[in-house]
Each structure stands twice: as structure tokens, then as C-alpha cells.
Amino acid sequence: MTGIVTPLFSDGSDEAAPGKRELTKALNRDAILKAARAVFSELGYEAASVRDIIRRTGLASGTFYNYYRSKEEVAKALAADVVQRLRPILRAEREQATDFESYLNGAIRAYFRFLIGEVEIWGPGRPRAERFPHIRVQTPAQGAVFEEILASINLVIEHGLAPRVDTEYLTAALIGVAQNIGEKMLHRDPVDPEAAARFAVELILRGIGALPKREPA
């Protein structure tokens, strides 16, 4: 029989090779991050080790170190992944808001629902404060979320819908309030994102005097 036979590993398939390599890299990174979520959830960040993560992936240790040099780098990658998924949610709220209050209501509610979804992704385990560290080095993705919120506030002020204040400080304050109330919300039973969002928005817009009063225990 005559004709041209293309070997299975022919040099002529070079165009597919880079795509396959990139797919392998993406799958390896995904496996490492998925394993890290499980390990941090079960053991807590401080107690977990790189070796624990590697065991959970089934990858060789050398493969792990091709992607991350330490447990902290894995944690930063997890934080960046969270922020990358959060940013478009906040942008959508900004685009449909009619004023500062509607933006706050939408953005904070969306953020709290996002937090509840993250708990489902991480699965049961230790309290979130133990399973995931506070990464103090700001990643580009975290900076992008800050800039997204800052731009929204500046836009509101330009349209005369909010007083002219230091928008960088205000953005930092909004993020701090939402993060800390969100953390406490996750520890309550039942978890009530609507009540948490109302509390946060009232506190930000109208101060302590506007908050719902509670009877003494």
C-alpha cells in the first residue's frame, strides 16, 4: 500500500503542541488550587503545609514547584481568583444603579451572596478565618476591585448624588465594612444576607443612629 502516513507524534503536529501544553498547565494549576482549598478548609491555613497540598493533587513535588514556590503563593493565587470573579459582579451593579444608595444596596447584597457561594465552593471545615489567611500583599486583581469601586463612587459624585469627600478613604471604608460584616454574617445561623446588607447600607449612609435597635438580652 502506498501513500503518506503521519506518525502519531509527528513534527507536523507542532501547532497542537503549544495548545496541549497550555491545557496541561491550566489543569495542573486548577488541581493545585482545588487541593489547597480542601487542605486549608480541613486543616486551617497555619497548620497546612505544601506537602499536604501536593499529596492531595497527586502531582509530583517538582510539578508543584513549577507553578508555586510556597504555601503563601498558593493562597495569593486563591485570593486573586476570588477577586477576578467578584469584579464583574460589582461592575454589573454599577452599570444598573441609578444613584449612590442603589449602587450600595446592589453591590453589598451581591457581595454577600458571593460570600455564601464561596463557602459552598470551599466546603465544610474550619471557620473561614482559620482556613484562609489575610494576604497583606495586594495583588493586581485586588487593586482592580478597589479601582472599580473607586470609579463608581467618583461617578456618583460627579453627578451630584453624593457629597465631595476623600473617595480613596471612602472606598477603603466601604470595603472594610462589607468585608467585616460579611465575615460575621457567615457565622450566624441562619445566614441572612438581606439583613446583613441592610445593616451595612444603613451604617454607611446614615450612621449608627439609623440602625435597627435590639432589645437587651
Contacts of 92 (CB under 8 A, 6+ apart): 110
The reported pLDDT for the residue numbered 2 is 43
The reported pLDDT for the residue numbered 124 is 54
- Please return the burial class of 156, using the count of CB atoms within 10 Å of its CB with bins 0-12, 13-18 and 19+: buried
Dist. CA 171–CA 189, nearest whole Å: 29
Mean pLDDT over 57-63 rounds to 92
59, 100 contact by CB (below 8 A): no
| Residue 139 vs residue 122, higher pLDDT | 122
Contacts of 28 (CB under 8 A, 6+ apart): 57, 59, 63, 66, 67
Could you tell me the three cell numbers for 123? 466546603
* pLDDT confidence tier of residue 7, bands split at 50, 70 and 90: very low
Query: What is the torsional sign of CA 138, 144, 147, 152?
Result: negative
The reported pLDDT for the residue numbered 8 is 37
The reported pLDDT for the residue numbered 3 is 45
* pLDDT confidence tier of residue 130, bands split at 50, 70 and 90: very low
Query: What is the torsional sign of CA 61, 64, 69, 72?
Result: negative
* pLDDT confidence tier of residue 11, bands split at 50, 70 and 90: very low
Least confident of 16-20, 90-94, 213-217: 213-217
Mean pLDDT over 118-127 rounds to 63
Could you tell me the three cell numbers for 38? 480542601
Contacts of 203 (CB under 8 A, 6+ apart): 177, 210, 211
The reported pLDDT for the residue numbered 210 is 65
Give the residue extent of every domain in the chain.
14-69, 72-217
| Residue 2 vs residue 205, higher pLDDT | 205
Q: How many residues does the chain have?
A: 217
Least confident of 1-5, 42-46, 125-129: 1-5
Interval 102-122: pLDDT, tens: 999 999 999 999 988 887 776
What is the dotted CATH code of the domain comprising 14-69? 1.10.10.60
CATH of 72-217, one of 1.10.287, 1.10.357, 1.20.1530, 3.40.50: 1.10.357
Contacts of 184-191 with CB under 8 Å at 24 or more apart are 185/112, 185/115, 186/115, 186/116, 186/119, 186/128, 187/127, 191/116
Mean pLDDT over 48-72 rounds to 93
Least confident of 56-60, 76-80, 135-139, 174-178: 135-139
Instruction: Give me the chain's average pLDDT, please.
Output: 81
The reported pLDDT for the residue numbered 126 is 45
